[in-house]
Amino acid sequence: MRMVHSLFWLLPLLYKMCPGHAWVASNFLMTGPKAYLTYARSVQVGALSGAEECRRQFAWDRWNCPDSATQLRGLRRATRETSFVHAISAAGVMYTLTRNCSLGDLDNCGCDVSNNGKIGGRGWLWGGCSDNVDFGERISKQYVDAQETGQDSRAAVNLHNNAAGRMAVKATMRRICRCHGMSESCSVQTCWTQLSDFREIGNYLKIKHSQAQKLDIDKKRMRAGNSADNRGAIVDAFGSIAPTELIYLEDSPDYCRRNTSLGLYGTEGRECVQHGDGLTQWERRSCRRLCHECGLRVEERRTEVVSSCNCKFHWCCTVNCEDCAQVIVQHVCARREGGDGPGYRRRHRGPK
């Protein structure tokens, strides 16, 4: 179920507030903890867009942001991939709320005009509607970070990655300017800052994912057991890491293989692309990455699709069409004959 995926963290939140009646919220909206429900719908939309972007960014990776990645709440590990899920979800919520704010969807917030009228730089003044990211950031913190109730290193890592996701929203903002002056001579400009497309935030975080760092926590100190020591060890480990970077605790499992206890499907049966216009190098190598390097072969599948075509309009009023058959060729990873499944004759390892 697609929905479950992106609402993974929202559901328990709603249950906590309103056990047994999570979705019967209309009355509750008026009387319940307003801070939560005023924004619930926008938060939900933001979480969905985060999950959608995750699937798009990883469409041609061995790990393709499956629904299970976020369903197994209790079992989830803090891998490189879950760091991305956290960051993009937090960013999605911040992004949507910020947009809502600028569009006037919400009663209690609007554009950030705090600098308007001030000089921004040579030849330009602040003016117009700057996106109010501070508002979006605050709401995202309130909702998304509330999911991390633990005191352990995993909770600390998740919170760090949420914050890194929100920083990505800020880091990708652009300055937009408009010319003024005699017949648009542009002697004076007014400028404001604006969110990038969400796609760009996805691209940015995908790079951060590939550069993610493993958090090195002093295990001896952690084993000593008392919670002050634990927190100390965690704080020290974070000391060397920039707030913009994604971090993880555990190495990624082998995404080639199916592993039901981890909720992983493996790459058998996955589609890959080889030819086509406008493919990136990453896409063009997808068959190698998903099939060959996972010990699978590439199988060509031809499917005939019939659709209406050559439609003609006759006066008045009928439309006659012909049936046209079109053969669609797909490439899919399949088990090798005699091979014993994925991973058998692998040449490369690693969570690509």
Task: List CB contacts of 301: < 8 A, sequence separation 6 or more.
Answer: 329, 330, 331, 332
Residue placing its CB nearer to ligand NAG in the complex, 139 or 217: 139
Which residues are paired to 308 by β-bridges? 323
Residue placing its CB nearer to ligand NAG in the complex, 98 or 230: 98
8 A C-beta contact, residue 318 and residue 332:
no
Site for ligand NAG (CB under 6 A): which residue of 5, 257, 289, 352?
Answer: 257
Task: List CB contacts of 18: < 8 A, sequence separation 6 or more.
Answer: 24, 25, 28, 32
Which one-letter amino acid corresponds to residue 186?
C
Q: What gap in Å lies between CA 160 and CA 139, rounded to an integer?
A: 16
Closest CA to 128 of 104, 112, 106: 112
User: Interacting stretch for ligand NAG, rule CB under 6 A, among 25-33, 38-46, 212-220, 240-248?
Assistant: 38-46
**Does 45 contact ligand NAG by CB under 6 A?**
yes
The distance of closest approach from Cβ of residue 78 to ligand NAG in the complex, given in angstroms and rounded to an integer, is: 14
**Does 280 contact ligand NAG by CB under 6 A?**
no
**Does 105 contact ligand NAG by CB under 6 A?**
yes
**Does 259 contact ligand NAG by CB under 6 A?**
yes
Task: List CB contacts of 44: < 8 A, sequence separation 6 or more.
Answer: 7, 10
Site for ligand NAG (CB under 6 A): which residue of 253, 263, 339, 351?
Answer: 253
User: Interacting stretch for ligand NAG, rule CB under 6 A, among 93-101, 122-130, 170-178, 240-248?
Assistant: 93-101
Specify the pairing of strand 318-334 against strand 124-126: unpaired
**Does 75 contact ligand NAG by CB under 6 A?**
no
8 A C-beta contact, residue 166 and residue 188:
no
In the bound complex, which residue of the shown chain has the CB atom lying closest to ligand NAG? 105
Site for ligand NAG (CB under 6 A): which residue of 76, 99, 154, 270?
Answer: 99
**Does 98 contact ligand NAG by CB under 6 A?**
no
Closest CA to 92 of 129, 130, 54: 54
Residue placing its CB nearer to ligand NAG in the complex, 64 or 102: 102
User: Interacting stretch for ligand NAG, rule CB under 6 A, among 51-59, 171-179, 251-259, 266-274?
Assistant: 251-259
Site for ligand NAG (CB under 6 A): which residue of 100, 132, 158, 162?
Answer: 100
Phi-psi region of 172 (alpha: psi -120 to 50; beta: other; left: phi over 0): alpha
Q: What gap in Å lies between CA 283 and CA 172, rounded to an integer?
A: 24
- Decide: residue 341, CB within 10 A, 0-12 exposed, 13-18 middle, 19+ buried: middle
Residue placing its CB nearer to ligand NAG in the complex, 32 or 232: 32
Residue placing its CB nearer to ligand NAG in the complex, 232 or 263: 263
Q: Which strands sit side by side in the sheet containing 297-314, from one edge to the other?
A: 271-272, 318-334, 297-314
The distance of closest approach from Cβ of residue 50 to ligand NAG in the complex, given in angstroms and rounded to an integer, is: 12
User: Interacting stretch for ligand NAG, rule CB under 6 A, among 37-45, 118-126, 128-136, 322-330?
Assistant: 37-45
CA 85, chain centre distance (Å): 5
8 A C-beta contact, residue 58 and residue 85:
no
**Does 170 contact ligand NAG by CB under 6 A?**
no
The distance of closest approach from Cβ of residue 261 to ligand NAG in the complex, given in angstroms and rounded to an integer, is: 5
Q: What does the chain come to in residues?
A: 352
Residue placing its CB nearer to ligand NAG in the complex, 155 or 262: 262
**Which parts of this chain interact with ligand NAG (CB under 6 A)?**
41-42, 45, 96, 99-100, 105-106, 253, 257, 259, 261-262
